[in-house]
């Protein structure tokens, strides 16, 4: 009794250093935890599904389409996090469960309300699947894939548009061919362009924690060209009722060059200027290099998709593979 809590804590972590890094579980899944959990709290303030990314594949479009559904709610916005909570990947995780739950509205009728959050960096975050599964073992996961070469280029253009000096000073080709002896910022940009595109590796990591029935993979090209079909499949996968009729809420906007939300007969609401940017095509040399770079990863992805029961291999994947022959 003479030992102070802090001293006791220090002793504990000396004995169990591996527990110093917390893993948050759901208090409602453990009767001992729920006994000490405040009566004012509810475990319903957690998402039913996660849109995990990766970045630049159309995650904002999917987010906005999902949010149009009257029974689907995303997290509340916060100046702290801009759009995305990014709880499971970075230092936000150490802010704890209360911080995370505070982003979600208390569902009015929990049986028909679906909560989700979209953080596009979850996809390739080393720690994310383990942490997400500890808290949300029943959650469903939605990911979008496009050609990893195209994704890398879109990220580069994104960084240029944000005034990133490295992206402005080096060509795309220079970025993707940067070597270990290149300067640190250049290597960092190269990694953010290239690494998320090793799709099979990242998906396998998710699949060591979640079952394949919990994972839904969207072909990002299909999301762009046939969003109504994609949204119907997503709703089926999530078992969301009643189904929302996206055909009467989405229309191709010629000026934007993308599908947008219908406001009325002649008006649509599209995503902002930062989504669907206009930029020159990728140079042929970079494209060829990236198709070779991703060859083994794309081959593994085809195998993975077949294992997961996908009948149709995305067109971009076939193309990326055939062009390297």
| 116 to 49, 73, 177, 278, 294: CA distances (angstroms) | 5, 6, 37, 30, 31
Residue 104 to residue 76: CA distance in whole angstroms: 6
β-bridge mates for residue 53, sequence order: 143
56 is catalytic: yes
Nearer to ligand A3P, 101 or 260 (CB): 260
- DSSP assignment letter at 170: S
Nearest approach, Cβ of residue 252 and ligand A3P (Å): 9
Q: Which of 95, 277, 288, 306 binds ligand A3P (CB under 6 A)?
A: 277
The verdict on 57 binding ligand A3P (CB under 6 A) reads yes
Residue 110 burial (CB count, 10 A): 12
Looking at residues 205 to 224 of the shown chain, list those that interact with ligand A3P (rule: CB under 6 A): 223-224
Nearer to ligand A3P, 49 or 258 (CB): 258
Looking at residues 112 to 131 of the shown chain, list those that interact with ligand A3P (rule: CB under 6 A): 120
188 three-state secondary structure: helix
Look-up: residue for tokens 């690494």?
195
Q: Which of 104, 258, 293, 316 binds ligand A3P (CB under 6 A)?
A: 258
Nearer to ligand A3P, 134 or 228 (CB): 228
**Are the beta carbons of 155 and 173 closer than 8 angstroms?**
no
Provide the CA 199 distance to its chain's centre, in angstroms: 12
Q: Which of 48, 55, 73, 119 binds ligand A3P (CB under 6 A)?
A: 55
| 223 to 13, 164, 214, 304: CA distances (angstroms) | 48, 29, 20, 21
The verdict on 203 binding ligand A3P (CB under 6 A) reads no
The verdict on 271 binding ligand A3P (CB under 6 A) reads yes
Nearer to ligand A3P, 131 or 224 (CB): 224
Q: Which of 50, 51, 52, 61 binds ligand A3P (CB under 6 A)?
A: 61
Write down the H helix ranges in 170-294. Answer: 172-176, 184-194, 199-207, 220-225, 227-238, 284-293
Nearest approach, Cβ of residue 56 and ligand A3P (Å): 5
The verdict on 48 binding ligand A3P (CB under 6 A) reads no
Stretch that binds ligand A3P, among 56-64, 187-195, 228-236, 261-269 (CB under 6 A): 56-64
Nearer to ligand A3P, 244 or 258 (CB): 258
C-beta nearest to ligand A3P: residue: 60
- As given in the structure block, the two tokens for residue 194 are 């290239």
Give the count of residues interacting with ligand A3P (CB under 6 A). Answer: 18
Q: Which of 75, 121, 147, 154 binds ligand A3P (CB under 6 A)?
A: 154
The verdict on 56 binding ligand A3P (CB under 6 A) reads yes
Q: What's the N-to-C CA distance of the chain in angstroms?
A: 72
**Are the beta carbons of 110 and 44 closer than 8 angstroms?**
yes
Provide the sign of the torsion angle of the four alpha carbons 175, 121, 155, 168, taken in this order.
negative
User: 56, 118, 150, 198: which one is catalytic?
Assistant: 56
Contact positions vs ligand A3P (CB under 6 A): 55-61, 120, 154, 157, 223-224, 258-259, 271, 275-277
Active site (catalytic) residues: 56
């Amino acid at each position: 009794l003479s030992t102070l809590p802090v001293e006791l804590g220090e002793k504990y972590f000396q004995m169990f250093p591996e527990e110093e890094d917390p893993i948050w579980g759901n208090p409602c899944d453990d009767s001992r935890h729920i006994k000490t959990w405040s009566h004012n709290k509810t475990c319903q303030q957690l998402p039913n599904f996660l849109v995990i990314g990766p970045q630049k594949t159309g995650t904002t479009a999917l987010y906005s389409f999902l949010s149009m559904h009257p029974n689907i709610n995303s997290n509340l916005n916060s100046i702290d996090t801009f759009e995305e909570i990014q709880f499971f990947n970075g230092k936000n995780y150490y802010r704890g469960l209360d911080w995370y739950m505070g982003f979600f509205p208390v569902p009015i009728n929990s049986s028909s309300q679906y909560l989700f959050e979209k953080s596009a960096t979850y996809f390739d975050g080393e720690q994310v699947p383990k942490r997400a599964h500890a808290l949300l073992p029943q959650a469903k996961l939605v990911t979008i894939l496009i050609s990893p070469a195209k994704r890398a280029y879109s990220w580069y253009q994104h960084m240029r548009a944000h005034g990133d000096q490295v992206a402005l000073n080096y060509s795309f080709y220079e970025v993707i061919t940067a070597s270990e002896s290149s300067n640190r910022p250049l290597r960092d940009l190269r990694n953010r362009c290239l690494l998320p595109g090793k799709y099979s590796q990242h998906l396998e990591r998710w699949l060591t924690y979640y079952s394949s029935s919990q994972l839904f993979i969207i072909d990002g090209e299909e999301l762009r060209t046939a969003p109504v079909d994609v949204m119907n499949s997503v709703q089926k996968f999530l078992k969301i009722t009643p189904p929302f009729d996206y055909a009467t809420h989405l229309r191709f906007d010629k000026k934007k060059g993308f599908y947008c939300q219908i406001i009325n007969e002649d008006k649509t609401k599209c995503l902002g200027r930062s989504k669907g940017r206009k930029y020159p095509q990728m140079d042929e040399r970079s494209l060829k290099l990236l198709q070779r770079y991703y060859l083994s990863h794309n081959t593994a992805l085809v195998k993975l998709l077949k294992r997961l029961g996908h009948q149709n291999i995305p067109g971009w994947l076939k193309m990326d593979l055939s062009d390297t022959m």
